Amino acid sequence: MTKQQVSGNLRGKRVVVMGLGRFGGGVGVARWLSRQGANVTVTDQEPREKLQSSIAQLADFPITFQLGGHDPDILNSCDLLVVNPAVDKARSEFFQRALNKHIAMTTEINIFMQHCPAPIIGVTGSVGKSTTTAMIHLAITAALKSSRSGRTCWLGGNIGQSLLANLEDIKPDDFVVLELSSFMLEDLPWIRLSPHVAVVTNLAGNHLDRHGTLENYAAAKQNMLRFQHADDWAILNGDDSIVRTWADVTAARVTYYHLENKQDIELAVPGRHNQSNARAALAVLQAVGLAAHTPAASTALAQFPGLPHRLQLVHTSSSGVQWFNDSKATTPEAAITALAALEKKTFICIVGGYDKHADMTEFCRKLAHSAAAVLGIGATGPALIAGTIAAGASREYAMYADTLEGAVTCAKNWITKPNPGSKLFNSVLLSPGCASYDQFTNYEQRGEIFTALARQ
**What stretch of H or E contains 286?**
helix 272-287
Listed in sequence order, the residues at least 6 apart from 130 whose beta carbon sits closer than 8 Å to its beta carbon are 158, 159, 179, 307, 310, 328
What Å distances lie between residue 80 and 13, 17, 164, 390, CA to CA?
8, 9, 17, 53
Question: Given this model, what pLDDT does residue 82 score?
Answer: 97
- Per-residue pLDDT of 353-385, as tens digits, reads 999 888 999 999 999 999 999 999 999 999 999
Contact by Cβ (8 Å): 5, 114: yes
pLDDT surpasses 70 at 193: yes
What SS3 class is residue 317? Answer: coil
Q: What is the DSSP string of 416-433?
A: HSPPTT----SEEEE--S
Cα 221 from Cα 161, distance rounded (Å)? 21
Residues 376-412 have pLDDT tens digits of: 999 999 999 999 999 999 999 999 999 999 999 999 9
User: Is the predicted pLDDT of residue 295 greater than 80, yes or no?
Assistant: yes
Cα–Cα distance for residue pair 200/234, rounded to 1 Å: 8
**pLDDT beyond 70 at 15:** yes
For 182, phi then psi, to 5°, come to -60, -30
What are the residues whose beta carbons fall under 8 Å from the beta carbon of 176, sequence distance 6 or more?
116, 118, 119, 120, 121, 153, 154, 155, 156, 163, 170
The angle that helices 361-370 and 381-390 make with each other, rounded to 10 degrees, is 60
2 confidence band (pLDDT: 50, 70, 90)? very low
- Read off the pLDDT band of 8 (50, 70, 90): low
Q: What angle do CA 58, 64, 68 make, to 5 degrees?
A: 95
Q: What is the pLDDT of residue 313?
A: 87
51 has a pLDDT exceeding 80 = yes
| Residue 103 scores a pLDDT above 90 | yes
255 pLDDT above the threshold of 50: yes
Nearest alpha-carbon partner for 247 in 261, 262, 231, 233: 233
Least confident residue range of 10-14, 142-146, 421-425, 434-438 = 421-425
Residue 248, classed as helix, strand or coil, is helix
Does residue 418 register a pLDDT over 70? Answer: no
Share of the chain above pLDDT 90, in %: 86
| Alpha-carbon gap, residue 173 to 153, rounded angstroms | 10
261/238 Cα distance (integer angstroms): 13
Distance CA 290, CA 146 (A): 10
What pLDDT does 269 receive? 84
Residue 209's pLDDT is: 73
Mean local confidence (pLDDT), 261-273: 90
Which pLDDT band, with edges at 50, 70 and 90, does 128 fall under? confident
Cα(112)–Cα(108) distance, rounded to whole angstroms?
A: 6
207-229 pLDDT, tens digit per residue, is 767 877 889 999 999 999 999 99
Angle at alpha carbon of residue 373, lines to 422 and 341, rounded to 5°: 120
* pLDDT confidence tier of residue 303, bands split at 50, 70 and 90: very high
Distance CA 385, CA 387 (A): 5
Q: How many CA atoms lie within 13 A of 234 on its CB side?
A: 26
What's the pLDDT at 95? 97
At 84 the pLDDT is 92
H runs (alpha helix) in 155-213 = 182-185, 208-211
Specify whether the CB–CB gap between 315 and 342 falls below 8 A: no
C-beta separation of 401 from 376 below 8 A: yes
Q: Which amino acid is at 346?
A: T
Q: What rounded mean pLDDT belongs to the chain? A: 93
The pLDDT value given to residue 381: 98
User: What secondary structure letter does DSSP report for 119?
Assistant: P
Confidence of residue 3 (pLDDT cuts 50, 70, 90): very low
Buried b (16+ CB within 10 A) or exposed e, 200-217: bbbbbbbbeebbeeeeeb
Domains along the chain with CATH numbers: 14-106 (3.40.50.720), 111-302 (3.40.1190.10), 312-455 (3.90.190.20)
Task: Say if residues 328 and 432 touch (Cβ distance below 8 Å).
Answer: no
Q: What confidence score (pLDDT) does residue 118 get?
A: 98
The pLDDT confidence band at residue 352, using thresholds 50, 70 and 90, is: very high
Which of 80, 85, 152, 159 lies closest to 116, judged by CA?
152
